[in-house]
Structure 1
Amino acid sequence: MDPRIREHAETIVDHSTGIESGDTVVIQLPPEAEDLAVALAELCGDRGAQPVWISNAERFSRAFKRAADGFEEAAHELAMYEETDVFIIARGGANVTEGADVDPETNAAYNRARKAIKEERLSKTWCLTQVPTSGHAQLAGMSTEGYQNFVYDAVSLDWAAQREFQSNLVEILDDAETVRIRSGEETDITLSIAGNTALNDYGEANLPGGEVFTAPVPDGVDGHVHFDLPLYRYGREIEDVRLTFEDGRVVDHSAGRNEDLLTAILETDEGSRRLGELGIGMNRQIDRFTYNMLFDEKMGDTVHMAVGSAYDDCVGEGNEVNESAEHVDMIVDMSEDSTLEVDGEVIQRNGTFVFEDDFDGVDDAAPEDAGDDVPDDDAVA
């Protein structure tokens, strides 16, 4: 076994989830991840925990979705998670486009039926990570060995140091009212985060970590945004997403590729037309785009927003939690012609934060074509 697999498992068990004696643990991994499952089983045994491994096979999921005539809540699966203390899941199937021929409306119906299961899993201690398979290496445009090195370098970061670095941004967002994001000519969006909490992701629920994230107030988002980096969802690539928000709701949308899938996502339920997350990437170790949101959303020089469900821990007392069966992250490249403002103060310019040595504080460096007011009619997606 590659010793890095054992190290990966140790990070999951000891840093990300803190598994202890007596814990019940559900390990959901693809068949290609048997070595990681074995390493996790050994560590659970060492610590007195009780694990079960269930397969996370995309071929299985595809077959069921295409054959079923409607979906119901899987009460037996829900019962398993109700009795679970820790949930570990990894991506890494052999074919990243396995579900590409599942109808978008079918995926939406499937997610609605599983909403209670998703919420139960998120209420537990959980960790989402990646197994470096050849399928994801091909998607990233890398050799299998190169992708393995990329993944293992990203998950073995000095997480204490990363936490300290990211705490600078958490401090800025504490008690903040609004965030404004401007990038190029097509992104100018303002989000209220009043009363909500910014969380420091340093490799716990997500491994790798490397972001600070919060929840926008559901009706407090206005403006337009161009997500200029693509994403994979249900085995299909969505490109050039453009969204327009009014009073928190998507009122216009488009995509350069697979717009039908984007439409289906937004029509899943009422909450899927609102933002559930604003995340700011801060992991400088992740320095290339790989078509894998677990990594791409953590890249320095990016921000991401997710339509759909909000994380309860981000929502302040008395504020509304945006609820949805979906949670779909989309990314804006902030490396050029971009500013990030908090309560009117520029805290990042062209991907560099005010607390980094090479920050350029020139006020007139903001995007030239971005007006002082958030537009209320442009946009899309």
Structure 2
Amino acid sequence: MIPTDDLTAYVDLVLDVGVPVRADDLVVINGDPEHAPLARALAEGAYARGARYVDIWYFDVHAKRSRVRHADPATLPEVPAWLDRRNEELAEREGVLINIRGEDDPDLLSDVDPALAGLDRMPNLASRFRLQSNDLVCWTIVAYPSPGWARAIFGEPDTARLWGHLKHFLRLDEPDPAAAWRAHLGRLGERAAVLNAHAFDRVHFEGPGTDLTIGMIPCARWDVIGYTAADGRFYVPCLPSEEVFTAPDHRRVDGTVRSTRPLALAGSVIRDLELTFAGGRVTEVRASSGADVVRGHQASDIGAARLGEVALVDGTSPIGRSGVTFLETLLDENATCHLAWGAGITQAIAGADEMTPEERDALGLNVSAVHTDFMVGGPEVTVTGVHADGSRRVILADDVWRLGD
């Protein structure tokens, strides 16, 4: 449970900074049954701000486990049309979307066929990803500390300890959390500006088990969290956030990369993940557990086995400094540098949201219905920017941001 005063401050941060709710808004809240206290508090806050209707939808991963165990495998990729229609109407109404994270049992599907588990992507609907990636609604992702999630991290259901971390990461322990977030995003924006000024042709990741070169799209910019939705509202998609990111050229990725943290994906925990790329595509997947889940995920469509994001995070991240692996991508991706297979970040390229899939692909911006981040950074990983003439500048080394003006 979150203390009442903290819960009120959290709701204010989400509804005033993350997704500013206004009168007559249609608001959708997605979560698990364990997230009900936060979902209800967000509904109360949204209605108090004039929302027209708040729809809370709970997804139960235990039902997903039953589906993977018993359903015809050919049906596992299917999604009922009414779920997609819900997202489509939200886009038509230019509404607000809040996704609550923090799985009560991140490894619940560890005892089912991993290849089958990889086929069922619920609750990550492609229709939801489309409206998020194209800024059709104001949307954000937040976390709630359930007992099961705390147990998976600490070995005991210590939700107070987990909330203590979340409160700090969210800057709710600051006198003015909203002002703290504006200042924080401004600092990250300064880093993005330096990267854009260098206009690197490619970046090179090097460390234990990692030697990966990633080409950049000339017109793609490094950016930070904070976008403008179709209706003109500024929103912050992820709370918290510590990253500077861009969309790479999916055709120019070669080498091998080793994940530096476990990845919770589709009800399974992927450990010791290694991916090999050649000519922009994943050619080999290795992991001590969950490799078939990744293979199934990357078989979703033609772009699912290509890169769509490069994100840089240094050792100043409070999430990284905590020393905890949270088994929740919202947090773990903001602890250290990460990459993502699947769809490219459209916000990194001006006008990309109005391009056809073919036009995006021609630029090197990856097109896919999936987008999965995995962590690849840390003190042993060096990230170097390479100019078109071959000159090199170290961006990150020993978890320290090295790139100056």
User: What per-residue deviation string (whole Å, max 9, x for no partner) do you get for residues 347-378 of structure 1?
Assistant: 2221111368xxxxxxxxxxxxxxxxxxxxxx
Question: In the alignment, what sits opposite 2:341?
Answer: 307
| C-alpha deviation, 1:34, in angstroms | 2.3
1:5-20 aligned within 5 A: 5-20=7-22
Higher deviation after alignment, 303-312 or 323-332? 323-332
Match for residue 272 of structure 1 among 297, 301, 304: 304
Distance 1:60 1:148, change over 3 A: same
Match for residue 216 of structure 1 among 243, 248, 255: 248
Work out whether residues 307 and 343 of structure 2, in 8 Å CA contact, stay in contact via their aligned partners in 1: yes
Pair 1:196 & 2:220 matched: yes
Question: In the alignment, what sits opposite 2:159?
Answer: 144
Distance 1:166 1:117, change over 3 A: closer
Distance 1:31 1:43, change over 3 A: same
Question: In the alignment, what sits opposite 2:143?
Answer: 130
User: What per-residue deviation string (whole Å, max 9, x for no partner) do you get for residues 66-112 of structure 1?
Assistant: 44430534221222112221111112343222333443443443339
Determine the C-alpha separation between the residues in 2 that align with 1:105 and 1:116. Answer: 23
Work out whether residues 31 and 56 of structure 1, in 8 Å CA contact, stay in contact via their aligned partners in 2: yes
Question: In the alignment, what sits opposite 1:259?
Answer: 291
Determine the C-alpha separation between the residues in 1 that align with 2:403 and 2:277. Answer: 31
TM-align CA RMSD: 2.6
Determine the C-alpha separation between the residues in 2 that align with 1:177 and 1:341. Answer: 6
Match for residue 28 of structure 2 among 26, 30, 40: 26
1:1-381 aligned within 5 A: 2-49=4-51, 50-69=53-72, 70=75, 71-84=77-90, 85-111=95-121, 114-122=125-133, 123-141=136-154, 143-156=158-171, 158-174=180-196, 176-194=199-217, 195-201=219-225, 204-282=236-314, 284-286=317-319, 287=321, 288=323, 289-299=325-335, 302-316=336-350, 319-336=363-380, 338-341=382-385, 343=387, 344-354=392-402
Work out whether residues 275 and 322 of structure 1, in 8 Å CA contact, stay in contact via their aligned partners in 2: yes
TM-score normalised by length of structure 2:
0.80
User: What per-residue deviation string (whole Å, max 9, x for no partner) do you get for residues 159-200 of structure 1?
Assistant: 112112211221123262334233334322221222212221
Determine the C-alpha separation between the residues in 2 that align with 1:292 and 1:37. Answer: 18
Counterpart residue type for residue 332 of structure 1: V
Counterpart residue type for residue 317 of structure 2: R
SS of the aligned residue for 2:21 comes to coil
Determine the C-alpha separation between the residues in 2 that align with 1:65 and 1:25. Answer: 30
Work out whether residues 204 and 386 of structure 2, in 8 Å CA contact, stay in contact via their aligned partners in 1: no
Determine the C-alpha separation between the residues in 1 that align with 2:32 and 2:56. Answer: 10
Give unmatched runs, 5+ long, in structure 1.
Answer: 357-381
Determine the C-alpha separation between the residues in 1 that align with 2:280 and 2:97. Answer: 32
Work out whether residues 307 and 342 of structure 2, in 8 Å CA contact, stay in contact via their aligned partners in 1: yes
Question: In the alignment, what sits opposite 1:377?
Answer: none
Determine the C-alpha separation between the residues in 2 that align with 1:114 and 1:16. Answer: 21
Counterpart residue type for residue 238 of structure 2: N
SS of the aligned residue for 1:83 comes to helix
TM-score normalised by length of structure 1:
0.84
Work out whether residues 277 and 307 of structure 1, in 8 Å CA contact, stay in contact via their aligned partners in 2: yes
| C-alpha deviation, 1:215, in angstroms | 1.1
Distance 1:121 1:105, change over 3 A: farther
Question: In the alignment, what sits opposite 2:176?
Answer: none
Matched-pair identity in %: 27
| C-alpha deviation, 1:15, in angstroms | 0.3
SS of the aligned residue for 2:190 comes to helix
Counterpart residue type for residue 167 of structure 1: G
Distance 1:355 1:168, change over 3 A: farther
Higher deviation after alignment, 331-340 or 159-168? 331-340
| C-alpha deviation, 1:12, in angstroms | 1.0
SS of the aligned residue for 2:23 comes to coil
Counterpart residue type for residue 109 of structure 1: L
Distance 1:94 1:88, change over 3 A: same
| C-alpha deviation, 1:217, in angstroms | 0.9
Work out whether residues 255 and 262 of structure 1, in 8 Å CA contact, stay in contact via their aligned partners in 2: no
SS of the aligned residue for 1:191 comes to strand
Work out whether residues 132 and 147 of structure 1, in 8 Å CA contact, stay in contact via their aligned partners in 2: yes
